Amino acid sequence: MSVYKYDNAIVNKLRELTNDSRIYVTPPDNVIRTIGQINSDKIELPLISVARTGYSILDSRSHPMKFEGSSAGYNEDLQRFVRFQMIPIRINYLMDVWTKHREENDNIIRELVFYFSTHPTIKVPIGYGLNFDHNFNLILDSQVEDNSDIVEHKNRGEYFRQTLSMYTDDAYLWKSSSRGPTYISGIKTEIYSNDHFVEEEVYDFNISSKED
């Protein structure tokens, strides 16, 4: 599973909280243009946007799930046994709140800070035949940055923008592999008596297992 799945989980959580389907992962410079295109150049505020600023690979040299992995059991849909491996990462995000009035911006920021400070856990579905949810925590940095001075636009008036920095350090890069069931085939037995060959029997079943 790649990093974008965590992006989607955060966006889906924000859409659920705000009932606003316009929330996307996009650089701040693209927000006004993007929303304008979606709504036929009619920009409606307030608006929340998310930007992923990068991620880092955490020290995984001794992490057992990197090398050995673990069994996820038998997948009925795939009819295969599935194993998975994980590498821990930290993902950094910026969340921007755009409004027409400063008071409204402050109120939205307050609600977001309270919510994610008390409910930081978000679920992300793990694919690749694993079929389970992974919980990760979205942590807010202490600083709230006011970027209102850089969002003035001619003929559109003034916008207020405040930015929350946030991260998760319990995310993973996921990889899975699978193999089919094990079968037995072609066992041959030879019977000897006093070092003399007596008879041979062949049992027509097989042992085979193919791993992806």
pLDDT of residue 113: 97
The one-letter amino acid code at 21 reads S
Task: Look at residue 72 in the predicted model and tell me its pLDDT.
Answer: 47
Mean pLDDT across the chain, nearest whole number?
Answer: 76
Which of 31-35, 63-67, 186-190, 204-208 shows the lowest per-residue confidence on average (mean pLDDT)?
Answer: 204-208
- pLDDT tens digit sequence for 58-92: 875 665 555 554 444 445 555 555 566 778 999 99
> According to the model, what pLDDT value does residue 205 have?
46
Q: Quick check: 136 pLDDT over 90?
A: yes
Q: Is residue 131 part of a domain?
A: yes
Identify whether 212 is part of a domain. Answer: no
Contact of 84 with 119, CB cutoff 8 Å: no
pLDDT exceeding 70 applies to what percent of the chain? 59
Helices assigned H by DSSP within 119-154: none
Structural domain contains residue 206: no
The pTM of this model reads 0.73
Query: 3-state DSSP call for residue 186?
Result: strand
Does residue 139 belong to any structural domain of this protein? yes
In a domain, 199, yes or no: no
> pLDDT at position 10, please?
97
> What span, in angstroms and rounded, lies between the C-alpha atoms of 195 and 51?
78
pLDDT digits (tens, 9 = 90+) for 192-209: 556 655 555 555 444 444
Residue 166: domain span: 4-179
Tokens 């990760």 -> residue: 136
| pLDDT tens column, 96-110 | 999 989 999 999 999
Q: Is the pLDDT of residue 137 over 80?
A: yes
Q: Is residue 198 part of a domain?
A: no
Q: 58 or 119, which is more confident?
A: 119
Q: Say how far apart CA 182 and CA 126 lie, in whole Å.
A: 26
Which among 68, 71, 52, 72 has a CA at the least distance from the CA of 60? 68
Residue 189 inside a domain? The answer is no
- pLDDT band at residue 158, thresholds of 50, 70 and 90? confident
Residue whose structure tokens are 């020290």: 59
The confidence score (pLDDT) of residue 108 equals 97
Structure token digits, residue 170 = 């319990």
CA 22 to the chain's CA centroid: 20
Least confident interval from 13-22, 32-41, 161-170: 32-41
- Looking at the structure of the chain, the number of domains it has is 1
In a domain? residue 186: no
Q: What is the pLDDT of residue 206?
A: 45
CATH number of the domain to which 58 belongs: 3.30.2000.10
pLDDT at 77: 53
Is 50 exceeded by the pLDDT of residue 56?
Answer: yes
